[in-house]
Amino acid sequence: LLRQVWNPGWLLRSNRAYYYFTLGMLYLQHKKLEPAKTHLQQAIALGLRKPNDHALALLNLAHIAFVLKDFVQTRQKLQEAQALHPTDLMIKDNLQKMEAALKQQN
């Protein structure tokens, strides 16, 4: 479905944000961290409508930073995600797991 979008620039801003969000998640699933990071950052910059989606994008950016051993960036993204007060239990659980993993690294 994403391949059917010839020019993401033609999409409405909110639709473009979710286009990049989905693309970033797919790249992350295939362990392509740099393109995943780029697309998730684009999605956040364009503005995701729901706080849970924004928190999930930040959580995934924190995960990418953790894998790349950038613990300062990991901490920053986790704090940003927690500030959104996500209501999704999976996001809350993964935020706690990431916090615990970060504490073990320090």
Q: For position 26, what pLDDT does the model report? A: 96
CA distance 59 to 76: 10
Tell me how many domains the chain contains.
1
What is the C-alpha radius of gyration for the chain, rounded to an integer number of angstroms?
14
CATH number for the domain spanning 26: value is 1.25.40.10
* pTM confidence score: 0.91
Average pLDDT along the chain, 106 residues, taken 10 residues at a time:
75 89 96 98 97 98 97 97 97 97 88
Per the CB < 8 A criterion, the answer to whether 102 and 85 are in contact is no
Q: For position 7, what pLDDT does the model report? A: 83
Find the domain containing 53 and state its range.
2-105
